[in-house]
Structure 1
Amino acid sequence: MIIHAGNWNSMDIFHILIKYAEVKGVYGNVDNKDIQEQFSDQEILHINGHKIGIVHGHGEKKTTERRSMEAFEMEDPDVIIFGHSHIPMVRYSKKTLLINPGSPTDKRTLPYYS
């Protein structure tokens, strides 16, 4: 399974990825109406007994990480996958594993693409 945390930019990306595996994801802040009609702003997956929240993490005030955690505060997920900042990270907040995969196409100020 491929999990995409938003900013598809084009449905062409989905059509490429679906050739490799099942694709789940959410839309991001740069995605147009066509993409927003295909994906929600947040998603909960249940995989092998684990609850996984997916959200892009864009919004006003607070950090991307904080907004992402607050999006699922009533869900108590095991894992939250988010994007928006393009800064890869993996860490725990209490008992929830937080993952930002970064970006394979926009590394911002980082030395490498993820």
Structure 2
Amino acid sequence: MRLLLTSDTHLPKRAKRLPDELLAAVDAADVVLHAGDWVDAATLDLLEARAARLLAVYGNNDGPELRARLPEVARARLGGLRFGIVHETGPAQGRERRCEERFPDLDVLVFGHSHIPWDSTAPGGLRLLNPGSPTDRRRQPHCTYLTAVVTGGRLTDVRLHRLPPRHPVRPATP
């Protein structure tokens, strides 16, 4: 089972559209997981139409329309693993402990909010994944998303994808 993990798309505030590379990955995925901060319902509509299966939550920047359509926390069993999605997990310090206490019934927790890619495993085995943002890199060198594979009840081939800049840097003219 091929997974695409994304978050913090912030359209059309941060970008006018989703990157083509991300949309191609949506088309190739068996399940798309979006950890909130869509900002507009059109992006949700687009992913609902394109994704074979979409699991998603709302984020702190999502208004009443998106909150009416999406839960704060989503859960699903995918390929024998128990997945959860939430937008915000709080500060990096103590994240593994907090998330393990809040979600003792999960194997993998996908989250967003910070725009900073994250991949760690809590002492009890909970895997925490943040795909960053495909449209708003903030303090990061690249816009990003994650792909992964679930096979035989295991999460494998977790890959961080760096997107090319939307506006390529041009060399200075003499």
**Superposition TM-score tier, normalisation by shorter sequence:** 0.7 to 0.9
Which residue is 1:17 aligned to?
47
| Distance apart, 1:18 and its partner CA | 2.2
Once residues 54 and 37 of structure 2 are traced to their aligned partners in structure 1, the CA distance between those partners, rounded to angstroms, is 14
State, as a whole percentage, how many aligned pairs show the same letter.
Answer: 35
- 1:107 corresponds to 2:137: yes
Once residues 17 and 111 of structure 1 are traced to their aligned partners in structure 2, the CA distance between those partners, rounded to angstroms, is 26
Once residues 136 and 101 of structure 2 are traced to their aligned partners in structure 1, the CA distance between those partners, rounded to angstroms, is 24
Deviating more after overlay: 12-21 vs 103-112: 12-21
Deviations 1:13-69 (A, max 9, x none): 1121123212110000000000000011111111121100100016xxx51673971
Gaps of 5+ in 1: none
Give runs of aligned pairs for residues 83-98 of structure 1, distance below 5 A.
83-94=112-123, 95-98=125-128
Runs of 4+ in 1 over 4 A off after TM superposition: none
TM, length-normalised to structure 1: 0.86
Once residues 101 and 63 of structure 2 are traced to their aligned partners in structure 1, the CA distance between those partners, rounded to angstroms, is 21
Gaps of 5+ in 2: 1-30, 145-174
Once residues 85 and 72 of structure 2 are traced to their aligned partners in structure 1, the CA distance between those partners, rounded to angstroms, is 8
TM, length-normalised to structure 2: 0.58
| Distance apart, 1:9 and its partner CA | 0.6
Provide the alpha-carbon RMSD of the alignment: 2.0
- Structure exhibiting the larger radius of gyration computed from Cα positions: 2
Which residue is 1:31 aligned to?
62
